[in-house]
Structures are given as structure tokens and as C-alpha cells.
Amino acid sequence: MRARHLAIQAFRRLCQVSALLFVLYAAISAHWRNFKVGHNSARLVGLLKNEAWGEAYALNERALSWFGEPLEVSDGFLGVPWGASIAGLPFTDPLSVAALASQGQLPPTSMLVGALIPLGLALVGGKLYCSFLCPARLVFELGGAVRMGLQRLGLPLGELGIPRLGLWVGLGLVLFSAGMGMGAFHLVLPYLSLSQGLAAWMLTGSAGVGLAIFGVLLLVEVFVAPGQICRSLCPTGAVLEQVGRAAPFRLRKVDPSACPSSCNLCQRVCPYGLFPGQETHHPSCDSCGRCTLVCPDNKLAHGLEWGAKRCSD
Amino acid sequence: MALSRREALASMLAGAFLLPGTGCGAAQADPSRTLLPPTASEDFLARCIRCGRCAEVCTAGCIELHPPWAGAEAGSPFIVPRVAGCNTCTMCTQVCPSGALTPIEPEDVLDAVDMGLAYVDEGLCLSFLGRVCGVCHDACPFPGEAIVLGHHAQPQVLGACVGCGRCEERCPQIPAAIRVFRQDPGSPRWKGPA
């Protein structure tokens, strides 16, 4: 059982790192495409920049050519998870569709199809996007590790709770974009500020303000309110949570026998401070599965379960 | 989710707290000196979802993205023709997910693209100052159709100009003697020194 939990965690890290690498790769590829169109020669790129660039150029060309004409394949990896093309498939945040619709625009079919992917994932597995794919969550979890280290050193750190306002933040942003265009989302949405900041960095070579905004959010996560940005403020997370309220794939207590009253290990390890042992972790739980590793009796596991959940709020 | 009125109001404010912060911020680039990517729709800023795919796919490397403090334009693409002009490859139009750019093929460019119009400052242009230049004509993707050279290689821009900005990028004069301006109503048009 423990091996299975560990495998899920390993798979989760793999997905998270892949999502982050995708954002970086899509932006770095812009340089590759420019070299490809302008020079189409690893040797020329090596002479123009330096050896390492030339080798990286050739490596990317070789990798892409496994899948077809390199430039065409490369054009299938674009954007940030907010509105991306991943191996040619569209992937869109439902909020971007809502913001476009709020301006009286009919979202094109490709965006609607792209939004079906995260929404479908939410209908089946709740907030799986948050725990398995969100690039910001990975960095926040690293921040959580730093926070734990600081606490071990005896630093008093904040433990602020924030009321659950994600839907209202989302509504505010959609209303804002109805009047002002879509220029505000990346100032608020953590994963968007991170990924747009990284993309701008890779494209232009200078770190964007997106990264600065995300840095502030990370400081809040580490020093002030751990887990609260994801749980209470992120509008995308809030939308996926509402869509996935009845999702059958969930983290649940597979052993119905009562836990020892003194044990709260699962609550202590939960990034949001939820209590899976008492089955009150729905609907905020994003099935990250960290609690499954610490439960001494293996009472917690991912699995399918139909019907209503006990909800904490 | 029970929410008191105060919490609801506070969060609406949180969602919109950027309104003053972003609305007053001046864009990095002077809007009258930037171009939008080809086939930008009338309501481009409303339609653009700021995913950055046009900038990533741009083969000319000319599409830049407005920084986050650029107010309503933040994250949307722009082109500064003097830095790099558009090579009309039309890739950006084909990858745009939201319809802010209309997909076209390279052979449609002359008919479908209207990013702006080039204006020649005869007081600066080398060919008008007695030298034979003609670089703008050679840089143009539609020489003979969008721009023609007259006596002493003096350039004349024709109505077919798509406003790609390659002439401005390549103009050897400093400051550029040929410059591209958007054709939006009310946008300041530069017609040479006063």
C-alpha cells in the first residue's frame, strides 16, 4: 500500500515538473524557431551565439524530428496553461472563456474545447489540476518545505486563515475584464503570474513583473498564510472545486474504523490544514495524497467513491 | 459557502484592487509608435486573452508583450517596427486561440492585413537629400505593389502597404525617414517635421 502511495507522489511530482518545464520550453522554443527560420543550421547558431547554443539547437531539432517536420511540431507547443497548445491540443482555463464571454465575445471553438480538459478533469477528479499540474503549487510546496525548515530553527511564522473568497475574486476579475479587458488576471492568479513571468523571462531575458508578483505571493505562503492562497484566494481553484463537488475520484478514508483520538498526523501534513481522518476534507481537498503517506494505519487512499461527501464547508 | 456581506465586498475589492494600479500605469511603449500583430480585430484588447502564443511563434521575433504595469494593455502583444518589423509569415494569426487575430495564409497578406501605413519624411529621406538609397523598397515584402521608387530612388508608398514596418526597421537614416503608423481614427499621424 505504501509503495502505491509513493508511486502516486512520484507521478504527481513528474506531472508538476512537466507542467513547469512545458512553460519554460514553450518560451525558449521561440528562440529556436527564430534560429530555424533565420539560419536553419546548428553550425551558424553556434558561430552566432556560442557552442552551447548550437548544440542545444541541434538537440531540439533532433528531438522534434522524431515526431515530424521539426518546425511544425514545434508550433504545437505554445503558451501558458491559461491558454496553451500542448502537442497541438488546446488547453484553456475556464476563467479565460468566462472573461471573454463577459465582454460579449463568443469564445472560439478551440477555446471551448480547451476548457473542456480542465473541466472534465474536475468532474472526474475534483481539483486534480491543482495538485498534479499547477506550476504555482509546485513552487508553493517548495516554499512549504522552506517554511518547515524555518520553523525547526525556531522562527515564529504566521498562521493566518483567510476566508474562502476564490469565487468572489474570480467574479471580480471577470467583471473587471468585462469593462477593462483581460489585463488583470496575471496580477492575481498565482499560476498565471508565475508562468507568464517565466515565459517573459525566457523570451526577453529580463525577469518580468509577473515573477515579482509571484514572489510576493510566495512570501505570503511561506511567512504569513500557508496554503491559504491556493485554498481560499485562487479563482481557478475555486471554479474547479465547485465543478468537482461530486467527483467520484477522491481521497477518502478507506478504513471506516475510528482513528485514535490523539492522532492528527494527516491534518498536520495537509497543506491546507484539512482533516482527512475525520472525512471533513471535502471539497477543498485536491487529492494531493500527502496524508496517505503519513497515516500509520493506512486508512487513507485515492479511490473511486460515488455519492455525497461529507463537507467541511 | 457562507459569506458575510463584508467578506463579499472585501473580496470584490480584492479582485478589482488593481483597477487604479493598472489603469493609470503608462504603457512602456508609446501607443502611437507601436503596431498590433497582423489581422488584429477592431476590439483587439477585449478579445486578446494574453496567452503570449503569438510572441512565441513569431518567426521575425518582432512581437513583444506589454509588461504587467501597462494598464489595460498588459500582457497583450505589440510590435515596434523600428526594432523589428513583421515578415508577414502569418503564424501568429494561425495560433491565436481567441479570435483576436483572424487566421490567414501568407498569400492573403496583401488583401487581409492592415497594420498601418508607412509615411516618408522627405526632409530626412536620403534619396530626397540627393543620395540614392532605396533600402525601404528592398526591405518591403511587396516591392512594386506597396512601395515604388521614383527618380533617384525616391520612395513613394502606395495604398497597398500592409504596415509591416520592415522599411522602418531597415531605414539607414537616424531617425528613420520612413515610419509606419496605425490607421486608427484619431491616432497621430506623422507627416514630417512641422
Asked whether the beta carbons of residue A33 and residue B55 sit closer than 8 angstroms, the reply is: no
H or E element, residue A84: strand A83-86
Domain boundary among A247, A262, A292: A247
Tell me whether residue B141 is in a domain. yes
Please name the member of B3, B55, B70 whose beta carbon is closest to the beta carbon of A203: B55
Residue B42 belongs to a domain:
yes
Specify the number of domains making up chain A: 3
Residue finishing a domain among A219, A247, A275: A247
Q: Hey, is the C-beta of A239 within 8 angstroms of any chain B C-beta?
A: no
What three-state secondary structure class fits A162?
coil
Which A-chain residues 50-109 have CB contacts (< 8 A) with chain B?
A: 75, 78-80, 82-85, 90, 92, 96, 99-100, 103, 105, 107-108
Closest CA to A312 of A161, A120, A130, A147: A161
Q: Is residue A306 classed exposed, middle or buried when 0-12, 13-18 and 19+ CB atoms within 10 A define those classes?
A: exposed
Q: At A233, is the pLDDT very low, low, confident or very high (cuts 50, 70, 90)?
A: very high
Same domain, residue pair A18 and A106: no
CB contact under 8 A, B51 and A79: yes
Q: Which residues from chain B sit within 8 angstroms of residue A233, using beta carbons?
A: 14
Mean pLDDT computed over every residue of chain A: 90
Q: What is the mean pLDDT of residues A114-140?
A: 92
Would the CB atoms of B46 and A181 count as touching at under 8 Å? yes
Q: A111 vs chain B: nearest CA distance in angstroms?
A: 6
Cβ-nearest to A92 among B7, B58, B97? B97
CB distance A250 to A169 below 8 Å: no
Structural domain range at position B162:
29-181
Angle at B129 between CA B126 and CA B133, to 5 degrees: 30
In angstroms, the CA A307 to CA B3 distance is: 26
What single string gives the DSSP state of each residue in A89-151?
EEEE-HHHHHHHHHTT----HHHHHHHHHHHHHHHHHSTHIIIII-HHHHHHHHHHHHHHHHH
In a domain, A55, yes or no: yes
Return per-residue pLDDT of chain B as tens, 194 residues: 456 666 666 665 555 444 433 333 333 456 667 899 999 988 888 889 989 999 999 999 899 988 877 777 888 899 999 999 999 999 999 999 998 999 999 999 999 999 989 999 999 999 999 999 999 999 999 999 999 999 999 999 998 999 999 999 999 999 999 999 887 655 555 443 33
* Domain housing A287: 248-304
Q: Which residues on A lie below 8 Å from B15 (Cβ)?
A: 168-173, 175-176, 188, 235
Q: What is the C-alpha end-to-end distance of chain A, expressed in Å?
A: 30
Q: pLDDT value at position A58?
A: 95
CA triple A234-A237-A243, angle to 5 deg: 145
Task: Please report the pLDDT score of residue A116 as a whole number.
Answer: 92
| A25 located within any domain | yes
Do residues A237 and A208 share a domain?
yes
Measured in degrees and rounded to the nearest 5, phi and psi for residue B190 equal -95, 120
Please report the pLDDT score of residue B24 as a whole number: 35
Residues A203, A140, single domain; the answer is: yes
Residues A254, A213 within the same domain:
no
A34 & A147 share domain: no
Our count of domains for chain B comes to 1
Q: From the candidates B3, B41, B49, B87, which should be mutated to test the interface with A, based on the most A CB atoms within 10 A?
A: B49
Whether residue A133 is found in the same domain as residue A64: no
Asked if B18 lies within 8 A of A208 by C-beta distance, the reply is: no
Q: Scanning the structure block, which residue is given the C-alpha cell 483581460?
A: A182
Q: Judge whether A310 lies within some domain.
A: no
Please say whether the beta carbons of A292 and A253 come within 8 A.
no
- Chain A hits for B49, CB-CB cut-off 8 Å, are 82-83, 96, 99-100, 111, 182
> Does residue B23 sit within a domain?
no
| Residue A265 forms part of a structural domain | yes
pLDDT at A167 over 80: yes
| A33:B11 CB<8 A | no
User: Looking at residues A129-133, what average pLDDT do you find?
Assistant: 93
User: Are both A53 and A94 inside the same structural domain?
Assistant: no
Nearest CA in chain B to A206: B67
- CB atoms A90 and B97 under 8 Å: yes
> Residue A167 CA to chain centroid, in angstroms?
17
Cα(B10)–Cα(B17) distance, integer angstroms: 10
Residue B20's pLDDT is 37
**Confidence grade of residue A205 (pLDDT, cut at 50, 70, 90):** confident
Same-domain pairing of A71 and A116:
no
More confident residue, B143 or A303: B143
What's the pLDDT at A57? 95
- CB–CB of A83/A95 below 8 Å? no
Same domain? A161 vs A213: yes
Chain B neighbors of A76, CB-CB under 8 A: none
pLDDT of A191 strictly over 80 = yes
Domain boundary (A198, A227, A247) is at A247
**Minimal Cβ distance to A181: which of B1, B11, B72:** B72
pLDDT for A186 beyond 70: yes
pLDDT tens, residue by residue, B144-174: 999 999 999 999 999 899 999 999 999 999 9
Choose the closest CB to B75 out of A75, A170, A196: A196
pLDDT, position A181: 77
For residues A65 and A130, membership in a common domain is answered with: no
Strand duo B77-79 + B63-65: pairing: antiparallel
Is a pLDDT exceeding 60 seen at residue A288? yes
Let me know if residue B6 belongs to a domain: no
Among candidate residues A238, A193, A195, A240, the one with its CA nearest the CA of residue A217: A193
Reported as a pLDDT band with limits 50, 70 and 90, residue A114 is very high
Residues A86 and A189 in one domain: yes
- Same domain membership, residue A196 and residue A286: no
Does A220 contact B at CB distance below 8 Å? no
Q: Tell me what the mean pLDDT of segment A190-210 comes to.
A: 86
* Listed residue (B100, B86, B108, B87) closest to B52, CA to CA: B100
